Structure 1
């Protein structure tokens, strides 16, 4: 049996191992939800990389968790306080029902290196993200997975998928788009 472990993303070298030189998804470097549309478009890939590195290396909350399979970094899940993800608040699809609600953490992105795919890494990452959020004071954890009713393409999996969240105990609380539910877990 292989050893699968999830830890806060505090090693920039390990993030680079998972993301590769292209920044996981065409140079996004997991900055899509952390920036406004104008900010994201104005930044080069290198600027987004530097911004993520600042979060990983910084003294504050880690911007996500990493999965390690037999000691090697193979997966990433972005998680943090909802208010740090400015695009969620501005989106017609993911906007909060109660913008003043506190203690809500958001799971926004997943990325698996080739060696981590098909190994149960996504489920471990989601469980690790929830544990990390709760340990840092989250009352509620939200996700915004894809749910198209058909087999998803790889490019649609970055936000997770509905059954991944359901299997972790999340329930749908809103749906403002036919393909993107808002799912929540209130850890107990």
Structure 2
């Protein structure tokens, strides 16, 4: 799998979310993320990355917050600059590719 900062077709990224104010805290972002995870899995991605910040960050809030991605199963993989965290979800595509190859 690609290291933080390396490019790979097998590591997909979700870079930002925009949810209108009146729909925030209603599960829209979770639904968008679940759809992104499903699409990445379907395409054979091995991992999905996000680049959130801590909730009290003064900037880059459009990428979401670290605790949200942690609750969704993402693990800290590094930092992107001084504020954005690299959070990675292992999609297990390696196992499914091995099964497809044997079939």
CA shift at 1:123, angstroms?
1.7
Query: Partners of 1:102 and 1:156 in 2: how far apart?
Result: 25
After superposition, where does 1:93-132 map in structure 2 within 5 Å? 96=5, 98-99=6-7, 101-132=8-39
Higher mean Cα deviation, 121-130 or 105-114? 121-130
CA shift at 1:152, angstroms?
4.7
Query: Partners of 2:57 and 2:34 in 1: how far apart?
Result: 22
Runs of 4+ in 1 over 2 A off after TM superposition: 150-153
After superposition, where does 1:1-188 map in structure 2 within 5 Å? 96=5, 98-99=6-7, 101-147=8-54, 151-152=56-57, 156-188=60-92
CA shift at 1:138, angstroms?
1.1
CA shift at 1:177, angstroms?
3.1
TM-score by length of 2: 0.72
Equivalent residue number for residue 45 of structure 1: none
Preserved CA contact (<8 Å) 1:103 1:140 = yes
| More RCO (CA 8 Å, sep 6+) | 2
Query: Partners of 1:130 and 1:140 in 2: how far apart?
Result: 9
Preserved CA contact (<8 Å) 2:75 2:88 = yes
Query: Partners of 1:183 and 1:103 in 2: how far apart?
Result: 15
Q: Which has the larger radius of gyration?
A: 1
TM-score by length of 1: 0.42
Aligned residue pairs, count:
89
